[in-house]
Structure 1
Amino acid sequence: MLRYVPQNFHVPLTSVLSMPADPPERPAAPKDAATVMLLRDAEDAGGVEVFLQRRVAGMAFAGGMTVFPGGGVDKRDADTSVRWAGPPPAAWAEWFSCPESLARALVCAAVRETFEESGVLLAGTDSAVVTDTARYAAERAALESRELSLAGFLAAAGLTLRADLLRPWANWVTPEQEPRRYDARFFVAALPAGQRADGDTSEAESSGWRRPAEAIADAEAGHSMLMPPTWSILAELDRCASVADALARERQPIRKVTPRLVRDGDQVRVEVES
């Protein structure tokens, strides 16, 4: 069982006393979401670095938290016209134990959100990956404002979605006590050669590459805040010797994890069944 103290996740102290001791009779339905851990090899002493962003404090969900790029699935992410390379939607449906149509949408959302929030584009041709994304700056802004769909962008640019660059990693659901809930599927991907990740998004106040252990240490010292999924996954990534090691992880059905919030005086404990 994993336990976290309140300053390290997304239940603010001011809401502890008003938080129900038990889940509501009708918990909010979780919205499907996709999150991507972008990795690169650390330059010294081995291990990996992961791209993290601190969300703008005023955001309705996870404001002020340090997170991986990601967001909710848009209904247009299920567009079957997207040119696709790599494991088919049926394979992702098996890994995430979900319908094939949702699996397609999750992969497309992962690619779209990563591009919107970090400028990294997991697309190209069947044999090559985009190396310079600066030419698509206008399209990136149009995607973020929802003026453009991923399918429309890729088709106009003559690009193929590269599902082979992604690996399934985890599936966490927001606790039932929360009024805003997500069923988030986590993917891992290597930073493509020639591309750079940036923080040019309205949703983040800062961005950068960190070793997983350093990000955890920052949270423990009170310099940043992590939600339980982020903390848990950072601990897993810290055990990876390299990006290749992370990508070589066996692909198998992912267990869905739904933490339970337990009020304990002026603190909230997060319990996760092992």
Structure 2
Amino acid sequence: MLARPAARTARTLLLSTTRRTIHRTAMPAASSSRPPNKGPSLSASLVLLAPLPAPAPDGHDYRVLLLKRHAQSRTYDSAHVMPGGNIDPIDLDSAAWASFFPSASKASPPSTSSLIADKLLALRLCAIRETFEESGLLLLKQQASSVNSPQSRWNGLDPEEKTRWREAVHEDGKEFIQLLRRLGGTVEPGAEAKPAVDSLTHWSNWVTPVLLPRRFDTHFFISVLPSPEASGSGIDTSASTTAVHDSLVSSDGVETTSADWLTPLEAIKRAVAHPARRGENASPQPPSDIEPILLHPPQFNLLAELAHNHRTLASLLDSSASSATPLVRPRRVVPLTPQIANVMDDQGRERKATVLPGDEEYQYDDEAVGSAPGVDRAGKRNRTYVIPPRKGQQGLVVEGCIRRGMVEVLGEGWEDMWAGEAGRAGEGAKL
């Protein structure tokens, strides 16, 4: 059994974390007389896909992990999000990770990303660490043998000890390295348990609009879990399709209140059924068997493109990858900073939207992507139709989204898609 990170019980840790969260939430908002923020906080989030042993009724052969934020959260309250959070000093400490990734500083980042190698590694580490803290799922690099591997050692721990490690990492990011070393056992330097950073593909970069007081520069990564049949995965392959992977995750009960595996299409349908959308453009009242969820624009868009263009994992995976671990095919990643504007949809209705680079209504800086002379943006769409928040509600309520003509602007991987009330006319107007 691994050494305990602290002598406190899981209940004591949970209560202390709860008190700390309540205190943080109750702090007053920053005074308008204070100087403006220096810039958005750097953060990372993980779009985690879990293969299904058989396709779901809607045709998807995988599900996506979504966590419901606590109602008292300072950001995204009550919304479903992908696991993630702000970067921690330990993620950026290249010396601390030198024995795990000795050649990281010499590695070249993929041509699809503008990040330098060290920053890309730090963000991947952040996404994996935050996923562990928020869901309890520890993503480790697969080894040839699963016998006494770091993954099997972790799977063999009792739930209370797993909780203690999870809370210890939440308290101090440096404990994440201690956990990895413990799982690696007595091994030669460089052979420790390693975070599965190579399984994460840099997928998207969303930056909070400039006009908002709290801003984030969030890099989304996408990764695929081993199949249910994979040896040492810790997954009960006899379980039903609705229960597969459920035992691997749990909410922390403080920042999040539930951990759900949903197909992208299921998530979209539940999002457009949210009661906050009951406006003049909203769809009829949804069937009573649909449990609504709240998705904000970045998460809605990411799930919409999966629902529209990628019903199967095969359509996402890089067939040229030499690794045995499923790897999502990379694409060009550019900063997407939404601009809130009143626009006309394809049916001539005036609506409020957050427009993204490439959209005909997007206002560019001189050197921003898509602003080059000769790019005809007439009729191009890269936007999310939204409803202003009600009193006391954080964020914008999404009606639908549409992306059209972005391959010409952003390149392969940014194919047309739409979902919800996307402003299209005629057959197939909605996903």
- Percent of aligned positions with the same letter in both sequences? 30
Larger Rg belongs to: 2
1:91 CA displacement: 4.0
1:10-159, aligned counterparts within 5 Å?
29-42=39-52, 43-45=54-56, 46-47=59-60, 48-80=62-94, 81-82=96-97, 83-84=99-100, 88=104, 90-92=107-109, 95-124=112-141, 126-127=143-144, 130-131=151-152, 132-133=154-155, 135=157, 136-146=162-172, 148-158=174-184, 159=193
User: How far apart are the structure 2 equivalents of 1:153 and 1:189?
Assistant: 22
Aligned residues: 248
Question: Which ranges in structure 1 are unaligned for 5 or more consecutive residues?
Answer: 1-24
Deviation, 1:30, is 0.7
* 1:272 matched residue in structure 2: 356
1:237 maps onto 2:341 in alignment: no
Displacement after TM superposition at 1:58 (Å): 1.1
Q: Which residue in the other structure is 1:173 paired with?
A: 207
Distance 1:114 1:247, change over 3 A: farther
SS at match of 2:124: helix
- Alpha-carbon separation, structure 2, partners of 1:210 and 1:191: 14
CA distance in 2, matches of 1:145, 1:219: 33
How far apart are the structure 2 equivalents of 1:107 and 1:55? 22
Q: Which residue of 2 aligns with 1:22?
A: none
Superposed displacement of residue 99, structure 1: 3.2
CA distance in 1: counterparts of 2:214 and 2:93, whole angstroms:
26
User: Which one is further off, 133-142 or 169-178?
Assistant: 133-142
Distance in 2 of aligned mates of 1:28 and 1:212: 35
TM-score scaled to structure 2, two decimals?
A: 0.52
Determine the C-alpha separation between the residues in 2 that align with 1:93 and 1:149: 30
Contact 1:55–1:204, Cα closer than 8 Å, also in 2: yes
Name the structure 1 match of 2:294: 225
Shift in CA distance, 114/157, structure 1 to aligned 2, threshold 3 Å: same
Contact 2:88 2:173 in 1 (8 A): no
More helix by share: 1
Match of 1:194 in 2: 234
Amino acid at match of 2:339: R
Q: Residue 287 of structure 2 corresponds to which residue in structure 1?
A: none
User: Structure 1 residues 253 and 273, CA, compared in 2 at 3 Å: closer, same or farther?
Assistant: closer
Alpha carbons 1:27, 1:177 under 8 Å: kept: no
> What secondary structure is seen at the aligned counterpart in 1 of 2:122?
helix
Check whether the contact 2:90–2:173 (CA below 8 A) recurs between aligned residues. no
Shift of 1:157: 2.7
**Equivalents in 1 of 2:74, 2:210: separation in Å?**
17
Distance 1:69 1:78, change over 3 A: same
RMSD of aligned alpha carbons: 2.9
Q: 1:75 to 1:263 in 2, by over 3 A?
A: farther
CA–CA distance in structure 1, aligned partners of residues 300 and 169 of structure 2: 29
2:143 and 2:92 map into 1 onto residues whose CA distance is 20
State the alpha-carbon separation in 2 of the partners of residues 112 and 178 from structure 1.
Answer: 27
Q: Distance in 1 between matches of 2:139 and 2:353?
A: 37
